[in-house]
């Protein structure tokens, strides 16, 4: 199956700074890479995703990059705000077979005002 590794496990940044979270995946056949944000006690919510035919995608302060050769993808948050504080999960989905998402272990982001 797919194995997704995520780093760092915790990240603290000053408000206004950028935050970067990195993930690697093992299955070269994976073709879909979403990022979810989970606030304390709440459900994970999709914030951005990228497909394997695209190298970068941006949505306001959030961007995701994908390097298929190296099998890694990253989440970039610019101009961080206190409300960005949450746990962020990356995930990968294989192109063939079962389409369940394999999640990374999560990154707890704290934005310090």
Contact between 99 and other proteins per CB under 8 A? yes
Work out how close the CB of 73 gets to other proteins at its nearest, in angstroms, rounded to a whole number: 15
Sign of CA dihedral 80, 92, 105, 71: negative
Interface residue with other proteins among 13, 20, 71, 103 (CB under 8 A) is 103
User: Strand 10-14 vs strand 107-112: parallel, antiparallel, or unpaired?
Assistant: parallel
**Which residues, 6+ apart, have CB-to-CB distance to 52 below 8 Å?**
30, 31, 32, 33, 66, 68, 95
Nearer CB in complex with other proteins: 9/18? 9
Nearer CB in complex with other proteins: 5/56? 5
Half-sphere exposure of 70 (CA within 13 A, CB side): 10
Q: Of the listed pieces 13-21, 39-47, 54-62, 74-82, which binds other proteins according to CB under 8 A?
A: 39-47
Contacts to other proteins by CB under 8 A = 32, 34, 36, 42-46, 49, 51, 89, 93, 97-106
């Amino acid at each position: 199956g797919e194995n997704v590794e995520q780093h760092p496990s915790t990240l603290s940044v000053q408000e206004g700074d950028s935050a970067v979270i990195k993930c690697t995946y093992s299955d070269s056949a994976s073709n879909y890479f979403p990022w979810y944000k989970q606030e304390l006690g709440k459900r994970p919510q999709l914030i951005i995703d990228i497909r394997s035919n695209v190298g970068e995608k941006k949505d306001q302060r959030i961007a995701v990059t994908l390097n298929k050769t190296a099998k890694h993808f990253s989440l970039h948050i610019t101009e961080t705000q206190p409300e960005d504080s949450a746990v962020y999960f990356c995930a990968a989905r294989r192109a063939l077979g079962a389409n369940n998402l394999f999640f990374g272990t999560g990154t707890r982001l704290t934005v310090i005002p």
